[in-house]
Amino acid sequence: MNHARAQASPPGARTPPLDTVAEIETPEHIRFRYQLAGPGRRMMAYLIDLAIRGIIVVILGLILQLSSYGFGFGGEGFSTGAFLLVAFAVEWGYYVLWESLWSGRTPGKRSMHLRVLKEGGYPTGFLDIALRNLLRAADFLPMAYSVGLLVMGLDPRFRRLGDMVAGTVVVVEDPGRIGHGLVVQPPPSAAELASLPARPDLSSADLEALDLFLRRVGTLNPAREQELADIIAPVYAKRLGLQYTHSARFLALLYLRAIGRTA
């Protein structure tokens, strides 16, 4: 569990980014990054779950009422008592049941792409889930999850009290997709590409910057595009010892060469 934590890494190691990201390390010594779920997203998930809980209680209540009036089953007292038991079970059992049977998700969390995990990135056990959900009573105080929101705001990992005691975090599970490859218009000719060295030595941060710029090209004002390109292009030309005529085109070609595109 320790090695999942930033502080356990050797001194001088890369500090975790100042971001809403939790990094965990697996037995395969792979580090995953999870985006932590903030209060807004979790509140949405809560509201969805609240609505579902409401619907469940209403439907079960109606069934109990009908069984009492329609079939004379048990009488009114029975149905009222049973209804309150149902309301009690739904109020306290809903989260525990869903999160333990659906590996840390409820329908509300699922729809917001959220999942509850142990802090080391492990799946949550039943006891963790029971604990974090019973402590909703503390987070709810004095009303409408005020304490929970306050604590969440102060904690760098957006944990409410229940999360802290149970040792859980809520993460965003973005399925993600591979973005379509960057399209450069007009398509570069072989000669144009050959004018630059194959695989220029660019760091991933360089690539990310170029990528971001080139993806915005279509949406920028041409004058602005030129202005930005004129700032960046000389930097790379100087570093790599290259010449260029058209700065924006140069950046596009440089990017294509760096990711190894031949056409």
Cβ neighbours of 119 (radius 10 Å): 18
Least distance between other proteins and beta carbon 114 (Å): 13
Cβ proximity to other proteins: between 179 and 218 the closer is 179
Q: Which of residues 211-240 bind other proteins (CB under 8 A)?
A: 211
CB 116 within 8 A of CB 132: yes
Beta-bridged to residue 25, according to DSSP, are 31
CB 60 within 8 A of CB 52: no
- Please state, in angstroms and rounded to a whole number, the distance separating the CA atoms of residues 8 and 1: 10
Which of 5, 61, 192, 237 touches other proteins by CB under 8 A?
5
Q: Which of residues 29-88 bind other proteins (CB under 8 A)?
A: 30, 32-34, 75-78, 80-85, 87-88
Least distance between other proteins and beta carbon 221 (Å): 25
Tokens 């190894």 found at: 260
Which of 126, 197, 234, 240 touches other proteins by CB under 8 A?
126
Burial class (CB in 10 A: 0-12, 13-18, 19+), 181: exposed
Cβ proximity to other proteins: between 43 and 82 the closer is 82
Which of 12, 70, 241, 260 touches other proteins by CB under 8 A?
260
Least distance between other proteins and beta carbon 3 (Å): 11
Span near other proteins by CB under 8 A; candidates 46-54, 56-64, 152-160, 185-193: 152-160
- Please state, in angstroms and rounded to a whole number, the distance separating the CA atoms of residues 257 and 166: 50
